[in-house]
Amino acid sequence: MLKAICPAAVLLVFALAAAPRLQAQNWNDLKSLAIGTRVRISVASHTVQGQVQSVGDASLAIDSGKGVEMFTRQEVTRVSVKKESHRGRNALIGLGAGAAIGAVVGAVSHKDCTGFCIFYTSRGQDTGIGAVVVGVIGTGVGALIPTGGWREVYKQ
């Protein structure tokens, strides 16, 4: 039974990965953007970044740092929204996962010392040491995982 499920699962994963993504092509979706939302707009041959000031039926206004710039609907070829970074959340998830894994590894790998030993630790101490060491590593890994970036919301 497992031999039949594995190829089917692999094919499903490849099919989902190869499926075309839905393209955001509706200008009305831009009207739901809140004022102050960070956007990146592709216009002709250049890109402008800034904060949304207003979105109308025929135009889009953003504050790009040089002042408010207006773009007509025909000029705009692509609009992307800045996603929030979740590095703090990812670091906490990494801390929790790392501490749990480290605690399990520390508890399982504990050996009672017989003969000459440098450290005399109990199972509880090994559990705590594993949790701290692997938890710190997990925190670093979680903080390094990129989660921000740009999400396309309109494409002409």
CATH number listed for the domain at residues 14-83: 2.30.30.520
CA torsion angle 100 105 110 116 (round to 10): -120
What pLDDT score was predicted for residue 2? 44
Q: Is 131's pLDDT higher than 90? A: yes
**Res 15 pLDDT > 70:** no
User: pLDDT over 90 for what percent of the chain?
Assistant: 33
Among the listed residues 21, 54, 22, the one whose alpha carbon sits nearest the alpha carbon of residue 39: 54
pLDDT by residue (tens digit) across 107-116? Answer: 888 877 777 6
- Structural domain spans, the chain: 14-83, 87-146
pLDDT in tens, 91-108: 999 999 999 999 999 888
